[in-house]
Copies of this chain bind each other. A is one copy, B any other.
Amino acid sequence: MRILLVEDEPKVASFIKKGLEEQSYEVEQAYDGNFGLKMAMQNEYDLIILDIILPHMNGLEVCQAIRKKKSQVPILMLTALGSTDDKITGLDAGADDYLPKPFEFKELLARLRALTRRSGDNGGGEKLSIADLEMDMGSKTVTRGGKPINLTAREFALLHYLLRNRGRVVSRVDITENVWETSFDTGSNVIDVYINFLRKKIDKGFPGKLIHTLVGMGYVLKEDDA
């Protein structure tokens, strides 16, 4: 879990950093707005903690700049200003939460957990399932109806993505970007082929298909409707 901490007061910064590292978060720091924005643009973070009062470029501007880039990183705004109006400005600038100083460290942690829950930290022994299909992220194993299923890395990644979006239709573009991580359209049919692999391993021989095709739209992982 990588966190970007943008805070100019060295004392506060190192306090937060230490505390977060104790919880085994990976923390990178920036000491002013400009630099913070640059780091946010160049790297991928799971969360950004942003002080409002910063040299060069204030937190609100940084926040807006990040959002303009369509980035969806959760942003936690941090500041000494406690009045309602400031909070509102912060939240409207695109922040996801707001924490007034002084705060208790455990509250920071709690809000952090709330913000990152969604982005799906798959570090720990997370388990995903649908119907009688189970995927264990920890041991990278998949079973259906108790039977273990052997998947290659790609197959696993694809199934993982489908599982994370179960019930939602995912287009080929979605899959390309999230599983193959190339935004370029190679004009190939790899995805079809892999869907076919998965079908053979997951659906074939089991009652109730899980992988469904929506022609012209994409694929869904869902239980057959009753």
Which residues of A approach B to under 8 Å, CB–CB? 72, 84, 87-88, 91-92, 94-97, 104, 106-107, 109-111, 113-115, 117-118, 121-122, 124-125, 138-140, 148, 152-154, 156, 167-169, 214-217, 220, 222, 225
The answer to whether B110 touches A87 (Cβ under 8 A) is: yes
The answer to whether A110 touches B88 (Cβ under 8 A) is: yes
User: What CA separation (Å) do A76 and B133 show in the bound complex?
Assistant: 33
The answer to whether A118 touches B72 (Cβ under 8 A) is: yes
**7 cross-chain CB contacts under 8 A:** A84-B107, A88-B107, A92-B113, A138-B167, A139-B168, A139-B169, A156-B217
Contacts of A154 in B (CB 8 A): 216
Contacts of A72 in B (CB 8 A): 118, 121-122
Given A91-B111, A138-B169, answer yes or no on A152-B106 (Cβ-Cβ < 8 Å).
no
Given A88-B107, A106-B88, answer yes or no on A140-B169 (Cβ-Cβ < 8 Å).
yes
